[in-house]
Chain A
Amino acid sequence: MKILIIEDEPQMLDNMRRTLEQEQYLVESAATYTEALDKIGAYAYDCILLDVMLPDGNGLKILKELKAQQKEEGVIIVSANDSLDDRIEGLNLGADDYLPKPFHMAELRARVQAVLRRRNFEGNRNIQLGNVNINPETRQVFIAEEDINLNRKEYDILTYLIANKTRLVTKAALAEHVWGDHIDQADSFDFIYSQIKNLRKKLEPASINVQAVYGVGYKLEVD
């Protein structure tokens, strides 16, 4: 899988590159609008992470260019300016997703995976991990062919942990992904624990398990 990161802030770029390279993606980068246009013209990518504000041009123009060239790349807009206008314009121009800064590395991995899966398997390919099979369309979870019933939050936690399997997912990242941005002022993320406990119980027959990483968060391990 080839991914292009268009981002002008070198440290931001470095973090994103390292995270995605851990997932065995081939990562290339462009720091300017012109460089990005050159790369898009010359190569094909599976997913493009696009910063809207570039020193020499608006990232949204790159998106227009991609659509004009009828390229099939999945595009995730990354923006420090979390404005509704940007979001709507980006999505209208054909972006697959919109990721406002600051974001957690776990969130980036999950979003990239979701885009890649949708692009490459047209969204109806089930996720298989160990003896767990998930149908993202119907939100059904099977353990060894047996349908298990997860509530909405438990399902979201499981898929998020699967997207970040064997990686440490912080409580904050998990809470913000599952409960949304607005939960963020709740006084502690400890409430996640009871949800995890329920999920663990339901996952007992599975070959995957959710491990707590002391004080920080959780990690999904495959037996």
Chain B
Amino acid sequence: MRLLNYTTQYFALLLLGVITIWAVAFYYAMLDEIYDSLDDGLENQKILLLKRAQEDPSILAHNDFDKHVYSFTPITAPSFEQQQERYQDTLMYMLNEEDYEPVRIYESAIQANGGYYKLKIITSMVEEDDLIEDLVSYLIGLYAFLVLCILILNNLLLKRIWKPFHYLIDQLKDFKLDRKTSLTTAPTKIEEFTLLNTTVTALIASAQRSYEEQKQFIENASHELQTPLAIVINKLELFIEQQPLSDEQLVQMASVLDNLGRLTRLNKSLLLLSKIENEQFQEEAEVDFKQLLHQSLSDFEAIAAHKNSALILLEETEMSYRMNRDLAVILVNNLIKNALVHGTPGAPIHLRLKQHALSITNQGTPTPLKVEDIFARFKKSGTNEKSTGLGLPIAQAIAVKYQLQLTYSYTEGHRFTLTFPI
């Protein structure tokens, strides 16, 4: 939910409560005031009637409400003593409304013209249901109006106020640390936003710096390792050539050389990965993928034969794409290598080169792999100790660099598909 609507929603809820409470209080206060003024009027009428009775005692004979709004009923002296002034609400049939309507009756005892009378004065009363109805409809109107006002105010005002914030988050949304994009901020007079802008800018600058340093560090470290590795391997090569060694010693030496070879390959892979990420492959050419695929297949023929697997090209077409040639070779080779290393020995590996896609399918573990682990560095599936765990990450880095999509799926086998943009 958007911030604007979020606050409006709370305002609307709060207003609903406030207006309801206010309406109840207002209703009773008003009703109280109305009764008060009605009662005053009734008392005033009583005084007026008493005065009239002195001048015209005949009115004392009016004892029903058909013709007048008052009635006199003769009472005895003890009743007069007991009679207290009181107000009573009741219903009376009104001709104009053709319905029973509430009336207020004022009862009082008077002494006039030497006799005791009970005096009742009636007055038409406010119709409570009508009052409530009116009040509710007016309040609903007020409520709607207020919410509308808040909405308009929010949209006009808050939108303007939060502009620097939205500007910032719009940029953060598209921000990628590995892309060398910089962030701009909108000027603002609001202190909090200024703080947010400067903090985010500083944070990103420092993150970018660390990222660059880290990338550079890996490249430099791998680079520095090359020479000592070369020296050690060469010394061992010279050593095993000169000495007459026993078979046991040769096996040990071979194992040392193997591991050093593995270290060299790992180092080379890291260096390659850094170089791809550090944009050190600028050269581009139209790469003929059909020809490249045939070259790779012939290179891997011996390895496939050794594993009793066949590399079968099921489908091919003329296809070329503009990218760095060396990286294209590495990309295709890594995918084939991956299929060979992880494929079940003896099972065929199927390749398809279509107009916009290259797919490689191998048999292997009967369950799909975790997609999030496949392209992660050093995540090795299985126990293949010779694998560097960098083959697929390198393939992925190359694919990303040239807007290709490298995806994994599992249907009749593990399939890696390289999709070329159309």
Contacts and interface: CB of A to CB of B under 8 A. Distances in A.
A84 B325 CA distance: 11
B384 A170 contact: no
B302 A195 contact: yes
Nearest to B230: A102
Range class of the A interface residue count = 35 or more
Interface stretch (A29-37, A56-64, A139-147, A175-183): A175-183
B391 interface: yes
Contacts of B169: none
Contacts of A103: 230
Interface string A186-222: 1110111111000000000000000001111100000
A216 B240 contact: yes
A102 B299 contact: no
A115 interface: no
Contact of A170 (B226, B237, B247, B264): B237
Interface of B: 223, 226-227, 229-231, 233-235, 237-238, 240-241, 247, 250-251, 253-255, 257-258, 261, 264-265, 268-269, 271, 275, 280-281, 283, 298-300, 302-303, 305-307, 326, 329-330, 333-334, 337, 340-341, 384, 386-388, 391
B362 to A, nearest CB: 13
Given A84-B283, A195-B302, A104 B387 contact: no
Report the 4 A-B pairs with minimum CB-CB distance, sorted nearest first.
A102-B230, A191-B306, A15-B234, A215-B254
A215 B257 CA distance: 11
Given A182-B299, A194-B302, A187 B386 contact: yes
Given A101-B226, A187-B341, 19 more contacts: A11-B231, A11-B235, A12-B231, A19-B238, A80-B223, A84-B281, A84-B283, A101-B227, A102-B234, A185-B341, A185-B387, A185-B388, A191-B303, A191-B306, A192-B302, A195-B302, A215-B251, A216-B240, A217-B254
Interface of A: 9, 11-12, 15-16, 18-19, 22, 80-84, 101-106, 152-153, 167-168, 170, 172-173, 179-188, 190-195, 213-217
